[in-house]
Amino acid sequence: MDLTSICLNKNACNKFGNTRQKHFGSILIARESVIPVAEDGTYDYDLAVIGGGSGGLACAKEAVNLGAKVAVLDFVTPSPQGTKWGLGGTCVNVGCIPKKLMHQAAILGESIHEAVSYGWEVPSLDSIKINWAALTESVQNHIKSVNWVTRVDLRDKKIDYINALGAFKDPHTIVGTLKNGSTKELTAKNIVIAVGGRPHYPDIPGAIEYCISSDDIFSLSNPPGKTLVVGAGYIGLECAGFLNSLGYPATVLVRSVPLRGFDQQMARMVTSEMEEKGVKFHHRCVPLSVEKLENGQLKARWTNTETGEQAEDVFDTVLMATGRYALTSALNLGAAGVKTLSESGKIIAETEQTNVPHVYAVGDVLEGRPELTPVAIHAGRLLARRMFANAAQLMDYENVATTVFTPLEYGCVGLSEEVALQRHGADAVEVYHAFYKPTEFFIPQRNIKNCYLKAVALREGPQRVLGLHFVGPVAGEVIQGFAAAVKCGITMEQLMNTVGIHPTVAEEFTRLNITKRSGKDPNPASCCS
């Protein structure tokens, strides 16, 4: 039997009573016409999900589609600065969605100035500035609409939504603490932990008291002004990038390397472009303290970990982007018997199943998994199908594409050059690379020195592609299509024989023909060369 494309057997169908079949991709599953009762009749729900983010909601909805009775518990503890939000998790409220909207606002601001070179008559360019209050209001209004639609969707699907902080009482019992302090108990045959994570604050004076995080920046009541961003991961660089482009000077403290875990050559391209646009970087620096001055500004002090030199400056806002921690400490996992936790508090579950067979985890709470919304969604859906449709397909965490929405975006899929060399050896890896000239950068003449891409492949024919990396306009849109090709095992021969769409930046992948090993100049002779 093909385990990746499985049909419910007779016993499985009998378990759910009268069913009607429905296709999901290559998996044939069954939909219950009447909500089933748990086999032993002792549980309130077939599935309880702790956490109302992307992964948990996707799992809950898929489970209901398969006839399960489902409850979702979700509660947002306010940030140290008091910020809270509605149903939908990090992505919708304080992550991907507001980040992309602010990134778009920054791009539009740059476009207004460039429009003059294209013949648009824009009066008084010097007076053009962002209205922070109007921007945040628009962003928050969109988020609230998504919160509402999400709640309505749960109601329509007959998923019980409980606005409570869930924790285990025993392996099958969850206690939900409501906003007013009262509690509600429920039992479930299966339980999925999807609580995600929250920003980490460094243990320094003033961090908790005076600093904000990505939990706060998208609804900040006052313009951020001159901002210090502590941390150079993708959240830190994205925030510094759009703030600077919106007209709020940004400085970044880099503890070790920017975009740790990403291809470091591409990371340097990203930070080089940000520096060209005015973002200041202090490398090998960690914060020492943040002090609030009488005028309300913040004096931050930091030290260089290599030289020992200390420095300080005054800012209007200090944003901490020093990583995230999993929200597992409040779950009382010991009562459920879940013991597979990493040092960081994340759950170790190879196939989303913990050491307790009926307790699962999806999303950012998992150790060693990409902290990306689409990953959580797909894993949640596949998990629901395994629980309630006898499916067997597991989540494939390899070759997951992602994009860093910095001023010049960075999109990638597959292995970085460093990891490829480590796994396969220098003699077995070939790297094709090129600089390119986006047509949209011709008028006006924009900096193109950081527009760069590369393909990391096996050297031996037909040269299977191990990773694709792209720094340039709309990198997310570019890399998404190529991600499917990498997933299907595309080779350099196939890539080179693909006819590109001209003039686009995506076609540059089809024009790659110079290897690093050759030592040839990777700069193009013209836009059509």
Phi-psi region of 474 (alpha: psi -120 to 50; beta: other; left: phi over 0): left
**123-to-111, 112, 127, 446, 456 alpha-carbon distances in Å:** 14, 11, 9, 22, 47
**Cα–Cα distance for residue pair 164/21, rounded to 1 Å:** 35
Q: Which of 200, 358, 433, 502 is catalytic?
A: 502
Q: Residue 313: CB partners within 8 Å, gap ≥ 6? A: 228, 251, 299, 300
**Cα–Cα distance for residue pair 281/447, rounded to 1 Å:** 19
Q: Residue 215: CB partners within 8 Å, gap ≥ 6? A: 79, 81, 83, 94, 198, 199
Give the three-state DSSP class for 60.
helix
Classify residue 491 by its DSSP letter.
B
Given a contact cutoff of 8 angstroms between Cβ atoms, the answer to whether 436 and 451 are in contact is yes
Burial degree of 152 (CB within 10 A; 0-12, 13-18, 19+): exposed
Reply yes or no on whether 502 is catalytic: yes
Given a contact cutoff of 8 angstroms between Cβ atoms, the answer to whether 67 and 35 are in contact is yes
**Cα–Cα distance for residue pair 29/101, rounded to 1 Å:** 37
Q: Which helix (H) or strand (E) holds 268?
A: helix 264-276
**Cα–Cα distance for residue pair 111/116, rounded to 1 Å:** 9
Q: State which amino acid sits at residue 147.
A: N
Give the three-state DSSP class for 161.
strand
In the numeric block, the tokens 């639609």 are attached to: 149
Give the three-state DSSP class for 393.
coil
Give the three-state DSSP class for 194.
coil
SS3 content of the chain, % helix, strand, coil (to 5): 30, 25, 45
* Residues annotated catalytic, as ranges: 502
